[in-house]
Amino acid sequence: MKIFLDTADIDEIRIAARWGVIDGVTTNPSLYAKVGGASYESILQEICKITPGPVSAEVVAADVEGMLTEGRHFARLAANIVVKVPMCEEGLEAITRLADEGIKTNCTLIFSTNQGLLAAKAGASFISPFIGRLDDINEDGMTVIRELAELLALHEMDAEIITASIRHPLHVTQAALAGAHIATMPFKVLQQMIHHPLTDKGIVQFRADWDKARAELAAKKGE
């Protein structure tokens, strides 16, 4: 399963890219609003320079023509831009038309298996079910991932599932086991995946033992 970072924070993306574990980035208007300070376009271009993987840029227009104008504009920014389009009637039409133009899309705000099926049929390259927001309202977000993974494989459809709205590391494991192609997550969740209390404790212990052995050796030589 591929790992994407769900952020517009350049510093976070640079750090994760150095770790060698990220395959792409997803952004949205809320994530952009969190960082601000520069135009959305300039941030997207910077991200595209850091990662060669897909970078999702989300449209905000409510009508089809507006979505197409924004989508074409984003697609011109870099070769690895993917246009993020919300699941709605206008969004499906925009996805279909952008696919006809050879522009890749990521259908976002998916909360049901049927919405994912429609997005895949319209020609979205990626479909993004929001599992955390489903869990928040006492529904099982992972069921949508499992059903979509089975459905896409059964009917040999090409769309890739991006498990989105990830809240904790267990979501990542569950998404991988449920057959998601990609998990997109906040930087904090990626950090949580790295750490384990026994690993951190083990590192401290090994260093302490090493220092002790070296100190004993130095003392012996100095005798």
3-class SS of residue 25: strand
Q: How far is the CB of 201 from ligand G3P (least distance, A)?
A: 31
Q: Quick check: 66 binds ligand G3P (CB under 6 A)?
A: no
Respond yes or no: is residue 84 known to be catalytic: yes
3-class SS of residue 127: strand
Q: How far is the CB of 36 from ligand G3P (least distance, A)?
A: 16
3-class SS of residue 182: strand
Q: CA distances (Å), 161 to each of 25, 55, 78, 102, in order?
A: 14, 15, 22, 19
Q: How far is the CB of 209 from ligand G3P (least distance, A)?
A: 41
**Count, residues near ligand G3P per rule CB under 6 A:** 9
Length of the chain equals 223
Site for ligand G3P in 123-182 (CB under 6 A): 130, 132-133, 164-165
Other C-beta atoms closer than 10 Å to the C-beta of 157 total 15
Q: Which of 2, 34, 84, 221 is catalytic?
A: 84
DSSP of 30-70, one letter per residue? HHHHHH-SS-HHHHHHHHHHH-SS-EEEE---SSHHHHHHH
Q: Which is nearer to ligand G3P, 3 or 97 (CB)?
A: 3
Close Cβ partners of 53 (under 8 Å, ≥ 6 residues apart): 2, 4, 22, 23, 24, 25, 80
Q: Which is nearer to ligand G3P, 72 or 133 (CB)?
A: 133
Q: Which is nearer to ligand G3P, 97 or 111 (CB)?
A: 111
Return the residue of 8, 24, 26, 126 that touches ligand G3P, per CB under 6 A.
26
Site for ligand G3P in 73-132 (CB under 6 A): 130, 132
Site of tokens 């052995």: 213
Return the residue of 3, 6, 92, 149 that touches ligand G3P, per CB under 6 A.
6
Q: Which is nearer to ligand G3P, 98 or 184 (CB)?
A: 184
The residues that are catalytic are 84
Q: Which residues bind ligand G3P (CB under 6 A)?
A: 6, 26, 28, 130, 132-133, 164-165, 184
